[in-house]
Amino acid sequence: ALLGVNPATALNALSAVCAAVAVALLYRLMCAWLPGGLSLRRLTAIFTALLFAANPTFWNQSLIAEVYALHILFVVAILLNLGIRAQEPAGRDGQVATRPAPSLPSAIVPALLIGLSLTHHLMTLWLLPGIVLYWLWAQYRAPGATVLKLHGAKEAIMVLLALGLPLLLYFYIPLRSGPAASPWYHQPLGDQVLTLYYNDWPSFLRFMSGRSISVGFRSVADAAAQVGFAMTQWRLHFTWLGLLLMGIGLYSLFAQRRWSILTLTLVYALIQQLFNLFYAIEDIYVYYIPLYLMGAIWAGFGVHWLASASWLQKFSPSSAAPASSAPAPKSANTKAAANIFLPLVLLLLPFYLVRSYLPQVDQSEAVGARVRWEEILAAAPPANAILISNDRNEIVPLFYLQNVEGRAGGMAGLFPLIAPEARFADVGATIETALTAGAGRPVYLIKPMPGLEARFELAPGAAPLVEVTGLAAATDAL
């Protein structure tokens, strides 16, 4: 334990820190992207940051040892470092002033962040098309620039190096994949070793690309059937009010011709949503977190557009007055009040989300994994037992107990799809593999699983264990 903190607590705390920094950077991002006065920009940025922080899925993943808080931190940092800034409206047409095209040197820091993010989670790939389109569009809009104009081979090489050098961190994998450093990849299974990572190029590429844990993709028909699930997730995470603000925000971005922000956020969101519809993974809900980030940004622009009260001008009495008439004090007061009052009132939305989801997100009493495994070990399974569950998340704590706390060292833990092989295709195949390849090692289920008695001979053990003594008689006859 470092500084008296065990690794599990430290990893949970790291997720919380990454999430907090991501929310703070989101505030900075909105302050940079929003036009207008400083007070309104700050209030709107606070609303956006709190709305995303209160998102129940992001909030939940920020309290456990998971990858998504750091992924969002990278995404926000990349967007912030692209150099998009909103200036005061140019003239009286209300259009936001455009900035010069981003120069290639300014792409070095974003390229470095993209490279680092790719070493963390490959969902970063879905951000790249929008960034490329934004850069090409900005180059095209710059006076005297062409779409493919570069600023010198030396600067281009610097950008490529900044993008590529962080990817060398992947070579840490083969250095730490051996039995001594990562024993959970090399579990004893009878007189054999169940090797989950072979130190060769095919295994390295499968691991780096995520194919080693990929579960495949849905057909077009099955993906279309997921649209209802997606719509429900958006509604539950933003409420109808939040969805309305998102729509207003997108309208305001189109109305103000903020093509740079639309290119980045809308292209990214469309690709991520399409991927989510097709990707067949059980915990797909966490893949919606980047979408919720985009939704919070759009909702922030919606609040800003409403609070800026520029849309009230066409309805105010002053809009029909002659050009020489003095500005109406009432209209000015209305706009000033909206600048402050509306964002403050709409802050009730993130507070409503916190109040609604706090009981579900609260992890202060989440000790189920610890309690369950203390019960399992208290049941005294044999020192060389093979322990099986139909849920990966129920077995992984065993690896922590073995390699961090030095307990249950001789036991093996199996679950379906622990390896991409037919013998681990489902819980039945996994149990049968343990019986046939285990060379007589005792096999136990870590919990009762009704239905397995039709295929296996089961004997109750000390709770919660169930011993598997062999195949059922009917199965043997077959």
Cα separation of 381 and 387, whole Å?
A: 9
Classified as helix, coil or strand, 387 is strand
* Local confidence pLDDT in tens for the 478 residues of the chain: 566 778 888 999 999 999 999 999 999 999 999 998 888 999 999 999 999 999 999 999 999 999 999 999 999 999 999 878 765 333 334 454 445 556 655 788 999 999 999 999 999 999 999 999 988 887 777 654 444 445 667 778 888 999 999 999 999 999 988 888 899 899 888 888 999 888 888 888 888 887 777 678 999 999 999 999 999 999 999 999 999 999 999 999 999 999 999 999 999 999 999 999 999 988 899 999 999 999 999 999 999 999 986 655 545 554 444 544 555 555 555 566 667 888 888 999 999 999 999 999 998 888 899 999 999 999 999 999 999 999 999 999 999 999 999 999 999 999 998 988 899 999 999 999 999 999 899 999 999 999 999 999 999 999 999 999 999 976 555 5
Query: Is the Cβ–Cβ distance between 277 and 230 less than 8 Å?
Result: yes
Q: What is the pLDDT of residue 146?
A: 45
CB atoms within 10 A of CB 389: 22
Residue 99 DSSP label: P
Structure tokens, 386: 């093979």
Helix (H/G/I), strand (E/B), else coil: 186: strand
Q: Spell out a b/e string for 297-320, using b for 16 or more CB atoms within 10 Å of the CB, else e.
A: bbbbbbbbbbbbbbeeeeebeeee
The rounded distance, in Å, linking the Cα atoms of 103 and 162 is 15
Residue whose token pair is 């969902």: 123
E strands, 125-205, are 186-189, 192-195
Res 118: pLDDT: 95
Give the N- to C-terminal CA distance of the chain in Å, as an integer. 53
**Residue 87 CA to its chain's centroid (Å):** 31
pTM of the model: 0.87
**Residue 166: is the preceding peptide bond cis (ω within 30°)?**
no
Cα 291 to Cα 265: distance, rounded to the nearest angstrom: 9
pLDDT of residue 456: 96
Contacts 24+ apart (CB under 8 A), 399-405: 399/184, 400/7, 400/8, 401/373, 401/377, 402/183, 402/184, 403/183, 403/184, 404/6, 404/7, 404/8
Element (H, E) at 173: helix 172-175
In whole angstroms, give the CA distance from residue 423 to residue 435.
11
